């Protein structure tokens, strides 16, 4: 017994849309680079949830393998992104993205 047999697929669709929109709102609202990173993670997770829901709905395991790859890419992205953030902080003593409006200083 799976939730997909009871809960309509549309509900998962709308849940993912809401989570994705919250992530977009976080990127637009906040100025702290770390919180913007976390909002990006939230958007990735909204997509993951939808992939798993459709994979379960269609009884096809390929969707879940895609989620697996997205997790690997997200881990790599976070590692490099946080390293860049450390460099930026070392140079500017701040994690505010509004300082980063020039390419060289």
Partner 1 sequence: MITKALFIFLTFLAIFFALRVVSTKNPIHSVLYLVLTFFAIAGHYILLNAQFLAVVHIIVYAGAIMVLFLFVIMLLNLNKETEPHKSVWLKSSAVVASGLLLVVLVGALRGAEAIQTTNTFNSNIGLIENLGMTLFNEFLLPFELASILLLAAMVGAVMLGKKSIK
Near partner 1 in 8-67, by CB under 8 A: 9-11, 13-15, 17-26, 28-32, 34-35, 37-39, 41-42, 45, 48-49, 52-53, 55-62, 64-65, 67
Q: Angle formed by the axes of helices 9-29 and 33-58, to 10°? A: 170
Q: Confirm if 25 and 79 have CB atoms less than 8 A apart.
A: no
Q: Least distance to partner 1 from the beta carbon of 103, Å? A: 17
Q: Confirm if 61 and 6 have CB atoms less than 8 A apart.
A: no
Cα(76)–Cα(41) distance, rounded to whole angstroms? 12
Q: With binding defined as CB under 8 A, does residue 103 bind partner 1?
A: no
Q: Is 99 exposed, middle or buried (0-12, 13-18, 19+ CB in 10 A)?
A: middle
Between 64 and 100, name the residue whose CB sits nearer to partner 1.
Answer: 64
Between 85 and 104, name the residue whose CB sits nearer to partner 1.
Answer: 85
Binding track over 65-94 against partner 1, x by CB under 8 A: x-xxx-xxxxxxxxxx-xxxxxx-x-----
């Amino acid at each position: 017994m799976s939730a997909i047999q009871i809960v309509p697929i549309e509900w998962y669709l709308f849940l993912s849309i809401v989570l994705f929109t919250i992530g977009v709102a976080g990127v637009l609202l906040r100025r702290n680079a770390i919180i913007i990173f976390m909002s990006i993670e939230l958007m990735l997770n909204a997509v993951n949830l939808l992939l798993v829901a459709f994979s379960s709905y269609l009884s096809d395991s390929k969707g879940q393998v895609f989620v697996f790859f997205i997790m690997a890419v997200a881990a790599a992205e976070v590692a490099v992104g946080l390293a860049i953030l450390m460099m930026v902080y070392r140079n500017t003593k701040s994690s505010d993205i509004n300082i980063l409006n020039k390419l060289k200083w």
